[in-house]
Amino acid sequence: MPCPATVVVFGDPRSRSTTSGSVSSKPATGQQRPTTSVVKQVSQKKKQASVKRTVKKKDVSKAPVVTKQKAQVKPKLPAKSVKKTQPEPNKSIEKVTPPVPAQPAGEAQAVEVNENLPVCDAVAIAYADARLIHQYTVLQNELSKYWAPPPGMADDCKCQLTACIDRTGMVSDVVVQESSGVLIFDITARTALFAVAWPVWSWGSSITITFKP
């Protein structure tokens, strides 16, 4: 069941900035984002001399934060990939963030990263999810207005119905996916499906709903 609280956070315009902020993931104080030159240095070192696996692992673990592009690199992989691709250094190895001496926190390292950020896919997905969750919650609330089972139903009693909604927003068919075994319970659930005003986004779709007492 989607959490309404999540919807509020995502649906709130103020909280959108929060969302994008969390995805851009600014480095923590004291931790520095690696610059391109540092990455190149690392790759050159790899060409020159064999790098100990243990050192690499340590480096990776110490890597503070990676950008969205760099996030594709799995932090634990480089150690293995180094061994395999020693003759031709892999791009993924280049993206590994080595330990960087701490710089003053005031320096705008994060600004540089933000400038490079494209419209983040993750943010887009989050928006889509949030909108979907919001829609579901609205529909859920609407359904709960009409869903009124008879008194005295057992707590474990539930039924699952699929409502096929046509392009005019009317219920064209109801399929019982899982009966509760109690006729009046199933009938009441079906009545709720026919009573509710289906939102436009649900038109032409089929929605499976689990009814609980």
Partner 1 sequence: MNIFFACLLSVYWLLNVPYSCALEVQATTRVKIPLVCVADRADSAMNVVTDRLQSALGFSGQFTIAVEDMPLRLTKKAIKALYVKGYPLALVITHTERNKIEWRLYDTMQAQMIVGKKCEKGASDLNWWALHVANSVWPELTGQDGFFMTKIAYSKQVAGNKGRSYRHIYVADFDGMHEQIVVNTSTINIMPRWNSDHTNPLLFYSEYTNDNVRMMMVDTHKRRKIASNFEGINMLTSFSSDGKKVVYCASRGDGNCQMYYHENGIFKRLLYTDAATGKSLADGNNISPTMSHDGDIVYFCSDFNTSLPQLYAYDIHRGTVAKITDGGYCTSPTYCHKTRQLAYTKKIDGIMQLYVFDTKTGTHRQLTYDEYTKDECSWSPCGNYLVVSIEKNNRSRVAVYSILTKQLQSITPESTICGYPAWSPIYSHYALTDGVGVAARSVLQG
- Phi then psi dihedrals of residue 163, to 5 deg: -100, 125
Query: Does residue 17 bind partner 1 (CB under 8 A)?
Result: no
Query: Does residue 191 bind partner 1 (CB under 8 A)?
Result: yes
Q: How far is the CB of 2 from partner 1 (least distance, A)?
A: 9
Query: Does residue 151 bind partner 1 (CB under 8 A)?
Result: yes
E strands present in 92-186: 159-165, 171-178
Place of tokens 């993924």: 92
Query: Does residue 172 bind partner 1 (CB under 8 A)?
Result: no
Q: Which of 32, 96, 41 is nearest to 69 (CA)?
A: 96
Task: DSSP letter for 46, please.
Answer: H
Provide the terminal-to-terminal Cα distance of the chain, rounded to the nearest Å.
15
Query: Does residue 149 bind partner 1 (CB under 8 A)?
Result: yes
Interacting residue with partner 1 among 35, 72, 103, 210 (CB under 8 A): 210
- How many residues touch partner 1 under the rule CB under 8 A: the total is 37
Q: Of the ranges 70-78, 87-95, 107-115, 189-197, which one interacts with partner 1 (CB under 8 A)?
A: 189-197
Query: Does residue 152 bind partner 1 (CB under 8 A)?
Result: yes
Judged by DSSP in three states, 176 sits in strand
Amino acid identity of residue 151, one-letter, is P
Query: Does residue 5 bind partner 1 (CB under 8 A)?
Result: no
User: Across-strand partners of 160?
Assistant: 178, 210
The binding site for partner 1 (CB under 8 A) comprises: 1, 132, 136, 139-140, 143-144, 147-152, 162, 164, 180-184, 187-188, 190-192, 194, 202, 204-213
